Amino acid sequence: MTASPGKQLRDGVLGVGSIGAVVAGMAAIDGTVRGSLVGILRGEFPIALTMPDVRLQHIARMLTDTMGLPSGNLVPLVGFALAGVALFVLMFRT
């Protein structure tokens, strides 16, 4: 059974839109992500995009910093958790 081209197009647009929404949310919350995104749009690719080790270390550092947030400032973490659950549901619904 093959999927119709219209369904494939909708699935592709939904996937790209979801990734765009997550990147926009990250840029709205974190200034370093915003700076990196603006640099990429200007054509200045950071070294982290070319060296996976540096990128993984940066992601790990950002995650540990996020977990170390004070208890009153968990809004970004909760927001991303809810977005992750929503994307998971959209991805695996039938």
**9-57: pLDDT as tens digits:** 888 888 888 888 888 888 888 888 788 788 877 877 666 555 666 667 7
- State the Cα–Cα distance between residues 21 and 44, nearest whole angstrom: 22
More confident residue, 48 or 6: 6
Confidence (pLDDT) at 49: 55
Confidence (pLDDT) at 6: 82
The arithmetic mean of pLDDT across residues 60-67, rounded, is 69
* Tokens at 84, concatenated: 């992750």
- State the Cα–Cα distance between residues 2 and 39, nearest whole angstrom: 41
- With beta carbons less than 8 A apart as the criterion, state whether 80 and 25 touch: yes
- State the Cα–Cα distance between residues 18 and 22, nearest whole angstrom: 6
Neighbours of 70 (CB within 10 A): 6
pLDDT exceeds cutoff 60 at 89: yes
